Structure 1
Amino acid sequence: MSEYFSLSDCDVIGFDLDHTLCRYHLKETSRLIYESFARFLVEHKGYDKDLLNLTPATWDFCFKGLVVDLEDGNIVKLAEDGTVLRYGLSAPKPELAIVLSDIKSKLIKSFILCLIRATHGTTDLSTEEILKFYGPNREWKHFNSLNTSFTRSAKYYFYDNYFDLPGALLCGRVVDMIHKRGSEVNSDFWKDMLAAIDHNYNTSAFKEDAGTYFPSVKRDPGRYLQPCSESVKTWLHSMKNAGKVLLLITSSHSDYCRLICEHILGKDFEELFDVIITNALKPGFFSLVPQQRPFKTLVNDVEESEGLPSLDKPGWYSQGNWPHLHELLKTMTGKVEPKKQGMKSPSAMSNQWGSYFVDIYKGDGEHEEGQRLTWCCHCIHKYSTMAIPSVEHIAGVCLYRI
């Protein structure tokens, strides 16, 4: 990351929508998403109704950056080099018990005992089980694919956004139920999970009131969406007035994007952005080159069938790819390489999984315990200029060096 950063030096400023410009009431939204997926499995696929029953403590399992290995039902948290984080801490260090009181010792012991960063279903894997699955170096075999493409595959699913994050908990509970029935876990259960996601999020679900998620948000948007503060709205206007090119790029479809933006920014939200791109399917929007999707125009929130060979003017588009957008930005700014900055959301701490950014590494006796960057943190460090907790934290200082 750079030592100094100033938005005044940027020609183009792009925003993600969900959980960046639009902040959600996470407890309500997570519960709704989980219920949307689980209800589909119960009502359409014949799964046990117990999937619909949750305790408050179970929500801690939902953690951004987890990977589900679809071949064996394991859920893992990865270090920057693709190894499975935190194993081998099965008891507290003896010296801790000497210097701490009995109460503190119990707290430390319970904390250290949970320092496992891989599960089978929702059950923590032991050191021996992690070594069995991933070998002495704890290497996850699909890491190179994830690290180079940043996309999902038939072998694994990367939980990188809040829209499907409660699915990690649901996956874990489904694997638990498969074991309870005495059946062997394989990737077949994932077909049902994908069907649940598609049922709730497909392109026509919003318009047709299909599934559980969109009808619920449409009925009561204030229950799930937090309006932007006046300081953020003023900040966006000030950047636009200062001649910055503002982008809004989201994987949400245009009809849902419109509902969100009208609620958080107002009916005139389109005036704030030079280019709005919906159904972008990030990160493939940036990484799938040359297998890139063309931009499409929209008529009443319906995509035109023919893709555009290039972008020649600002506006609202669907799908698309970074190379074509990059060429448009060159034209709009009059610069060969306009300076850009994008803003996206981080993730919160978890008792189950620890920090989104760092974790503890413990070797097999030859390596000392120490901190390691997670793969997610490594990506932020490699590709981002800086990390901020929320847009509100920099609203009002956009033209100053920070």
Structure 2
Amino acid sequence: MEEYLCVEDYDVVGLDMDHTLCRYHLKETSELIYKSSAKFLVEEKGYSEELLTSYDHEFSMRGLILECLQGNFLKLDKEGRILRASHGTRAMSRADVIEHYGPDMRWKHFESFSKTLISPPKFHFFDNFVEQSGALLCARIVDLMDKTGASDAKTYTFWKDVIAAVKHNYDPSSFKADRGGYFPALKRTPGKYLQAPTPLLTTWLSKLRRAGKVTVLLTSSHSDYCRLVASHTLGVDFENLFDVIISNALKPGFFSEKPICRPFLSLEQDVEGRALPELPGPGWYSQGNWTQLHSLLQRLTGKASPKDNGFWGPMFYDGGIADIDDSPPKETFFHAVMEQHASLVLPSVEVLASVPLNHKFPCTSARRSSSAKSCSNE
């Protein structure tokens, strides 16, 4: 267990694009995501125009769990106890929660879910900024189905339509085709949704390369969208800041799939080409897997076991949340996940860029260990 994290110690620094190096105006982006999905459901799936009402920033938060068949939204503490619940957008009282989930108010799927963080078909974990808007959309659909009596014995079957809306708006081909509500709006007015370039970050990335670090940009976005976002937030010469750029990485499978199942593809003018048996050198590639990337990093660093940072990306702190019975705020399950899986938790990557490369940050694991020892000595 490492006590400190120091950028200078790494041979390879890998970074995500969205919400890490490239920041969004969250209010405007959340509204756009919601409106584009709601518009599809109204026009293509026949849902009520009531879905097109204004976006409610108070309802949506990361870390919500939707029970798809029941239409209930749950916020859990680190032990799986329900801190907040709603049926659609209607808040559930403590009595409602006890009636549905028992006197201990503990979610029955918590043990299995907390080990994998994988959402089976019957529930969904809203864990990122894009999906955050989808939580409100789903909640309002539940409200409408209750209002019109469209649900069958309190079983809700709208999830497949929500997935269709997501695919319509965010399928990689939609960017080039100017299809859906999201990509066309962002292409027309990128400054409305993307934050301005940050000289601090570009200077830091250049400093990393001068210090001999191999820099990697890894994103699940397709190359054309990546090019638009990165050029706006990092500058038109952003490609010069990285040794390797990988788009359409299809995380998290990138880190677990075998090369034969997830090969790297060549990329020419944002069109994916042939499968590559190995990466020939620095450049921009599509899809891929960790095994082949690691092999390239070995060659670029000249080390059999180059030390990488695990590819920093967005981890979203949502703070404490008041319990249903109005007791003091508790640590949420989402917060606990972040503490468990992240070596370092910072408000933004700019914090890294604002200090020398040899600055030592206390790791979250070290802080947890120190806190536990302190408590045991009291």
Look up the match of 1:260: 229
- Classify 1:45/1:256 alpha carbon distance in 2 versus 1 (closer, same or farther; 3 Å): same
Deviation at 1:258, TM superposition (A): 0.4
Secondary structure of residue in 2 paired with 1:297: strand
Look up the match of 2:270: 301
Look up the match of 2:217: 248
8 Å CA contact 1:12–1:246 kept in 2: the answer is yes
Secondary structure of residue in 2 paired with 1:205: helix
Aligned equivalent of 2:98, options 131, 146, 149: 131
Deviation at 1:287, TM superposition (A): 4.7
- 1:380 and 2:338 correspond: yes
Distance in 2, matches of 1:157 and 1:291, equals 30
- 1:209 and 2:167 correspond: no
8 Å CA contact 2:202–2:241 kept in 1: the answer is no
Equivalent residues in 2 for 1:1-400, closer than 5 Å: 2-54=2-54, 58-81=56-79, 83-86=80-83, 117-184=84-151, 185-287=154-256, 293-304=262-273, 306-341=274-309, 342-347=311-316, 356-359=318-321, 372-400=330-358
- Unaligned 5+ segments in structure 1 are 87-116, 349-355
Distance in 1, matches of 2:354 and 2:93, equals 49
Deviation at 1:359, TM superposition (A): 4.1
- Unaligned 5+ segments in structure 2 are 361-378
- Classify 1:330/1:143 alpha carbon distance in 2 versus 1 (closer, same or farther; 3 Å): farther
- Classify 1:278/1:136 alpha carbon distance in 2 versus 1 (closer, same or farther; 3 Å): farther
Per-residue Cα deviation, 1:26-58 (whole angstroms, up to 9, x for no partner): 111111111000000111111111111126xx2
Deviation at 1:369, TM superposition (A): 5.8
Per-residue Cα deviation, 1:153-211 (whole angstroms, up to 9, x for no partner): 32222222212321111111110111011232434201110111001001200000000
- Classify 1:63/1:215 alpha carbon distance in 2 versus 1 (closer, same or farther; 3 Å): same
- Classify 1:177/1:287 alpha carbon distance in 2 versus 1 (closer, same or farther; 3 Å): farther
Look up the match of 1:353: none
Deviation at 1:146, TM superposition (A): 3.8
8 Å CA contact 1:285–1:292 kept in 2: the answer is no
Deviation at 1:245, TM superposition (A): 1.0
- Classify 1:64/1:289 alpha carbon distance in 2 versus 1 (closer, same or farther; 3 Å): farther
Secondary structure of residue in 1 paired with 2:17: coil
Letter in 2 for 1:52: L
Deviation at 1:265, TM superposition (A): 1.6
Letter in 2 for 1:241: R
Deviation at 1:235, TM superposition (A): 0.8
TM-score, with structure 1 as normaliser = 0.81
- Classify 1:373/1:281 alpha carbon distance in 2 versus 1 (closer, same or farther; 3 Å): farther
Cα-Cα RMSD:
2.6
Secondary structure of residue in 2 paired with 1:260: helix
TM-score, with structure 2 as normaliser = 0.86
Distance in 1, matches of 2:11 and 2:244, equals 14
Count of residues in Structure 1 that have an aligned counterpart in Structure 2:
357
Deviation at 1:362, TM superposition (A): 7.9
Secondary structure of residue in 2 paired with 1:61: coil
Secondary structure of residue in 1 paired with 2:304: coil
Distance in 1, matches of 2:253 and 2:102, equals 31
Secondary structure of residue in 2 paired with 1:24: coil
8 Å CA contact 2:142–2:156 kept in 1: the answer is no
- Classify 1:279/1:188 alpha carbon distance in 2 versus 1 (closer, same or farther; 3 Å): same
8 Å CA contact 1:2–1:386 kept in 2: the answer is no
Per-residue Cα deviation, 1:84-131 (whole angstroms, up to 9, x for no partner): 432xxxxxxxxxxxxxxxxxxxxxxxxxxxxxx121111112223323
